[in-house]
Amino acid sequence: MPGMSLRLLLIAARADHGLLVRKHVEIEWPDAIIVEHRLGEDAPLEAQFTAAGFDVAIIVGAPPAEAVQSLAAELLAKAEFAPIVLLLLQDAPAPQPARARGLYRLYGRKIDRGQLIKTIMDASREHRQSLAMLRAKPDFEQRYRFGTVMIRGHRCIRQVGSGGMCTIYLAESERAGGLVVLKVFNQVPDVSERMVSFDRFLQEYEIIAGLKHKNIVRIYDLGIADDHAYIAMEHFPAGDLRQRMKATLSPPTALKFLEQIASALEAIHAVGVLHRDLKPANVMLRTDDSLCLIDFGLAKADDLDVSLTGTREIFGTPYYMSPEQGHAELIDARSDLYSLGVMFFEMLTGSKPYTGATAMEVIYKHKRADLPPIEPRFASYEGTLRRLLAKSPDDRFQSARELLDTIGKLKTPA
């Protein structure tokens, strides 16, 4: 397809089938963008997903093929879903099913490359024609409206939250090829005044966009639309760690979660960044039960010339705040490790180490109160907890790497 980069969604139950289709496609279109989805391994496609960012969806399966045929029918029932090429590695039935709009069936125990390429081209042509008709409708642009802001390339599904700085939406990103969380900055930035919150918003993107780590949120897009900044990031339908902690966590699960968060902290600390607002609500779960660190809105790069929050201003959540942060003293990576220690204590015991009637009472306890007794059943973790939650940073783990080394020993039977 000269003059265009083909975008394909490739759905397969077996890795070798996906690889085979990919090779056939890339021989014809070396610059094709192919996003793979593994049935039975990846999270199910979400109900709101329409493959808006793809030219064609290819579903490949072998006998018994009932599952992939059911999936094709389910996706085809969605309004505006991309055309589907259903590639069935089996002999064609007699008689063959009637042709359905938006669905192209291919049969054969081996893939006929010429037939596959022609079918993809036919399906893509149909898709372009459908899009042209869709764009001609007077209300087409409304799908890209987020409140008063028009952000093309992102289809609004619904608003999911709001705060003092951003309104948060669930959207389908044509660029990412899936659902994303879209944060839209509420205020029009005045560059001459260097709005602190706007600087933080942009800084959040700058920090995490450059980090490719499995336990750090993926950022897909950042831009300005109608003079409002926005950021598109990974969507987490499984919720956050706070929700997960409502159910009792086993000690091995708590240790596994501790390790993953520590790994994310090691990555951000290595580039001179502190999180400064580490808490369960800022740790998300993927459907495979892995964790992901988000919300760097309070993060601060160590090498910035000017602190965005001011030298004596307190930011963070008191329950998880280190003694030095609660008293507006200088902080470093060991402050994040203290916050992680509070989370580990809560994951193990089901309660926070320090509570109080007011934020200042909690802050005082972090600085002065003794750590509550550790139950005997958590004795093997007591040393780790006491080092993480030491009042003085000098008595804590000095780095996330040091903590990870200790976790490795705890995971290894004596």
The residues, ordered by sequence, that sit 6+ positions from 358 with a Cβ below 8 Å of its Cβ are: none
Outline where 153-248 has alpha helix (H).
196-209, 241-244
CA distances from 301 to 270, 273, 321 (A): 11, 4, 18
Torsion, Cα 195 198 203 208, to 10 degrees, reads: 170
Tokens of 28: 């014809």
Phi, psi of 29 (to 5 degrees): -130, 85
Whether the CB-CB separation of 90 and 109 falls below 8 Å is answered with yes
Q: Rounded distance, CA 226 to CA 389, Å?
A: 46
55, 221, 277, 336: which is the annotated catalytic residue?
277
Q: Determine if residue 288 is left, alpha or beta; phi over 0 gives left, psi from -120 to 50 gives alpha, anything else beta.
A: alpha
First to last CA, the chain: 61
Does the active-site annotation cover 277? yes
DSSP H/E element including 121: helix 113-135
CB distance 56 to 124 below 8 Å: yes
Query: Which residues are registered as beta bridge partners of 185?
Result: 166
Residues 6+ apart with CB under 8 A from 248: 350
What is d(CA 297, CA 288) in angstroms, rounded to the nearest whole number? 26
CB 207 within 8 A of CB 301: yes
Instruction: Give the three-state DSSP class for 178.
Output: strand
Residues marked as catalytic: 277
